[in-house]
Amino acid sequence: MIEQFYQWLSARRLKLSFPKDYVFLFLVGISLSIAIAACSGNNADTSSSVKLAAGRDVKLKLVSYSVTKAAYDQIIPKFVEKWKQYHNQNVTFDQSYGGSGSQTDAVINSSQQADVVHLSLALDINKKTC
């Protein structure tokens, strides 16, 4: 199934129409992030901001590079509305925007916690934690 999604995504890479397809990709990314967080098991850190129990609010920490702020300002309200419609939960986003390199370093060094990280440079994305 993941392979089929990747093939579909690769076929449409150059055919994305803003904002519909980007909103879809953002929703897929958020959904996958939440699913991964939910399946990660019980951690010693019980202060996780993602709460998926029925009827509880969901708070996500979004860390991104500064250029994306204008796009997220348009996408997030639509996502919040759809999430409420399908899951009957309120979603709030704690957002942090800055340079891709500084955001990467902050997340790696644990000075910035995040549920969703959106970086601009391949070097930042592939940066090692060691």
6-60 pLDDT, tens per residue? 666 566 554 555 566 666 667 767 766 776 666 655 544 444 444 455 568 889 9
- Six-digit token pair at 5? 């999604």
pLDDT attached to residue 47: 43
pLDDT given for residue 76 in this prediction: 92
Q: Write out pLDDT tens, residues 89-110.
A: 999 999 999 888 888 888 888 8
Q: CATH classification of 2-41+50-125 is 3.40.50.300, yes or no?
A: no
Q: What amino acid occupies position 112?
A: Q
Q: Which residue carries 């348009």 as its tokens?
A: 74
Residue ranges of domains in the chain = 2-41+50-125
Q: Where are the extended beta strands (E) located within 1-130? A: 58-65, 91-98, 116-118
**Where residue 117 falls among pLDDT bands split at 50, 70, 90?**
confident
**Assessment of whether the complete model's pTM goes beyond 0.85:** no
Token pair in block for residue 105 = 């370093």
Let me know: does 65 contact 97? Beta carbons within 8 Å: yes
Q: At what angle do helices 20-39 and 69-87 cross, to 10 degrees?
A: 60
